[in-house]
């Protein structure tokens, strides 16, 4: 596995030129914040100066602002195996989790437990807990160990909230088998695709998924705090109620009626006025991702993960790293994680040398693999830098141990 040969054979290589990539940095954190597509700044500048600055309120109709959540949603739908009219881009992922939970509860009446796994991405769990508290525990939020989640489904389980690719370990769940097993027990399933879309194939229709949510700022390269998205299978759209019933989810928002009447279709999952600038940046990232062949993306991601793991193996022996991701690349998303007791200062020392991964509490170093802009040569160089930092003990400095607000 010579990195230079792998790069020479890389079919996705041309995509690298479509991104702004800072000099002197090997960026392995695209699973936290994706890099800037070169097309984004010009698009935003035009939107701000022309659509906003010159055409002002008229742009809601003329520049397509009013349809932006649906238009971007339809584009995302194609990346996650959904159909047109099943996805809208809007709100934060967290808010979309809440809407999906409420919608699933309304679509599965008579059951009142929402189930997830311990150690799921925190905001998913927190939104469950907030809903439980709001309803005076008429809705129960239940967490069990990840391996037992299907067995824990009982007659009261309305919905299971699961993540396709785990944020810390990168472990992949089988969406098809898991959805079928949960539905066989009478539960609906919400999939969190935050670490999936643009990273590994996801097939919501093929899995017969009920609802899904995801994040715009990771592998979709939509920019910091980009809008998230929400999927509702067409069969649920006319009955499910997302509870956050804002005016953009009304059947006729500009009638200014006193009574909420949900829009038909996916539009009822909209809430407030759409975040137009954020949606424009997200659309550029999504458009770029749609140009890539997802099979090639997955294939390169697996190859990068294998190169990383193979080169890390001696460091595991020499410096006590433990692979925190599944060893089988088929069970791993587009990241690779290692546990180490000194994970935090090691990550800081790597950043100081231009290798940007991130730390995830309590003890994980996490490296995102982004096939559109990461080269095999960078993967090899990143592991060389880890080796150097460890062999030199360069991480063991007080300034690397001060925790920042965001890790």
Q: Does 387 bind a second copy (CB under 8 A)?
A: no
174 in active site: no
Question: Using omega within 30 degrees of 0 as the cis cutoff, is the peptide bond preceding 255 cis?
Answer: no
Q: Which residue has the tokens 């659309």?
A: 283
CB of 393 to a second copy, least distance (A): 24
Residue 318 CB, shortest distance to a second copy, in Å, is: 28
Q: In the bound complex, what is the minimum distance in angstroms from residue 102's beta carbon to a second copy?
A: 6
Nearest-approach distance from CB 238 to a second copy, in angstroms: 16
Spatial CA neighbour of 265 closest among 248, 282, 278: 248
User: What is the token pair recorded at 65?
Assistant: 């602002």
| CA atoms within 13 Å, Cβ hemisphere of 32 | 15
Instruction: Provide the 3-class DSSP secondary structure of residue 121.
Output: coil
Does 20 help bind a second copy (rule: CB under 8 A)?
yes
Q: What binding mask, one character per residue, do residues 341-360 give for a second copy by CB under 8 A, x or -? A: ----------x----x-x-x
Kindly tell me which residue out of 3, 123, 142, 385 binds a second copy, with binding defined by CB under 8 A: 123
Reported as type and span, the H/E element at residue 350 is helix 343-352
Q: Which of 137, 148, 151, 407 binds a second copy (CB under 8 A)?
A: 407
Nearer to a second copy, 215 or 233 (CB): 215
Of residues 63 through 92, those in contact with a second copy by CB under 8 A are 65-67, 91-92
Q: Which of 167, 366, 367, 373 is catalytic?
A: 366
Query: What is the helix (H) or strand (E) element at residue 381, kind and residue range?
Result: helix 376-391
The catalytic position among 15, 19, 121, 359 is 121
What part of residues 224-243 is at the interface with a second copy (CB under 8 A)? 224-228, 241, 243
Region 131-160 residues binding a second copy, contact defined as CB under 8 A? 131, 133-136, 138, 143
Task: Determine which residue in the list 35, 77, 165, 212 makes contact with a second copy, applying CB under 8 A.
Answer: 35
Contact flag: residue 369 with a second copy (CB under 8 A)? no
Does 245 bind a second copy (CB under 8 A)? Our answer is: yes
Q: Tell me the C-alpha distance between 232 and 241, whole Å.
A: 11
Q: Please, which of residues 267-286 interact with a second copy by CB under 8 A?
A: 271-279, 281
Q: Does 209 bind a second copy (CB under 8 A)?
A: no
**If we measure between CA atoms, which residue out of 67, 82, 76 comes closest to residue 267?**
67
At residue 115, what are phi and psi to the nearest 5 degrees?
-120, 140
Whether 38 is a known active-site residue: answer no
User: CA angle, 266 as apex, 265 and 271 as ends, to 5°?
Assistant: 120
DSSP state string for 247-284: GGGBSSGGG--SS--BPSGGGGG--SS--HHHHHHHHH
Decide if residue 255 touches a second copy (CB under 8 A): yes
Number of shown-chain residues binding a second copy (CB under 8 A):
98
- Annotated active-site residue 366? The verdict is yes
The Cα-based distances of 189 to 69, 138, 216 in angstroms read 23, 20, 21
Binding residues for pyridoxal 5'-phosphate: 93-94, 121-124, 163, 192, 195, 217, 247, 273
- Decide if 192 is catalytic: yes
Is 217 among the residues known to form the active site?
yes
* Whole-number Å distance between alpha carbons of 282 and 294: 18
The answer to whether the CB of 40 falls within 8 A of the CB of 250 is no
Alpha carbon distance 346, 206 (integer Å): 41
Determine which one of 217, 269, 367, 373 is catalytic: 217
Q: Which of 71, 83, 126, 201 binds a second copy (CB under 8 A)?
A: 126
Residues known to be catalytic: 121, 192, 217-218, 366
């Amino acid at each position: 596995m010579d990195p230079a040969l792998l790069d020479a054979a890389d079919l996705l290589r041309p995509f690298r030129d479509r991104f702004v990539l800072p000099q002197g940095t090997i960026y392995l954190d695209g699973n936290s914040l994706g890099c800037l597509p070169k097309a984004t700044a010009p698009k935003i500048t035009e939107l701000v100066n022309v659509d906003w600055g010159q055409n002002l309120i008229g742009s809601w109709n003329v520049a397509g602002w009013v349809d932006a959540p649906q238009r971007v949603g339809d584009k995302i739908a194609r990346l996650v195996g959904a159909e047109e009219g099943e996805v809208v881009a809007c709100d934060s992922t967290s808010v979309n989790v809440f809407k999906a939970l409420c919608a699933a509860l309304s679509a599965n009446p008579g059951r009142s437990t929402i189930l997830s796994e311990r150690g799921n991405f925190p905001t998913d769990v927190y939104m469950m807990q907030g809903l439980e508290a709001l309803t005076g525990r008429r809705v129960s939020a239940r967490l069990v160990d990840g391996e037992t989640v299907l067995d824990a489904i009982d007659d009261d389980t309305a919905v299971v909230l699961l993540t396709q690719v785990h944020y810390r370990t990168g472990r992949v769940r089988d969406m098809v088998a898991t959805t079928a097993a949960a539905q066989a027990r009478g539960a609906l399933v919400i999939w969190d695709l935050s670490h999936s879309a643009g990273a590994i194939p996801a097939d919501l229709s093929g899995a017969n998924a009920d609802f899904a949510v995801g994040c715009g700022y990771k592998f979709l390269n939509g920019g910091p705090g980009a809008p998230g998205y929400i999927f509702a299978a067409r069969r649920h759209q006319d009955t499910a109620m997302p509870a956050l019933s804002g005016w953009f989810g009304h059947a006729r928002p500009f009638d200014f009626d006193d009574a909420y009447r949900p829009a038909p279709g996916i539009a009822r999952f909209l809430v407030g006025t759409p975040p137009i600038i954020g949606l424009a940046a997200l659309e550029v990232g999504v458009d770029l991702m749609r140009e890539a062949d997802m099979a090639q993306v997955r294939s390169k991601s697996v190859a990068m993960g294998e190169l990383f793991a193979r080169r890390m193996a001696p460091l595991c022996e020499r410096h006590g790293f433990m692979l925190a991701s599944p060893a089988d690349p088929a069970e791993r998303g587009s990241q690779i994680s290692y546990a180490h007791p000194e994970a935090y200062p090691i990550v800081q020392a790597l950043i100081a040398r231009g290798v940007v991964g991130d730390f995830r509490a309590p003890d994980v170093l996490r490296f995102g693999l982004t096939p559109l802009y990461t080269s095999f040569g960078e993967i090899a160089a990143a592991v060389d830098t880890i080796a150097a930092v460890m062999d030199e003990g360069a991480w063991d400095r007080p300034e690397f141990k001060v925790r920042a607000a965001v890790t």
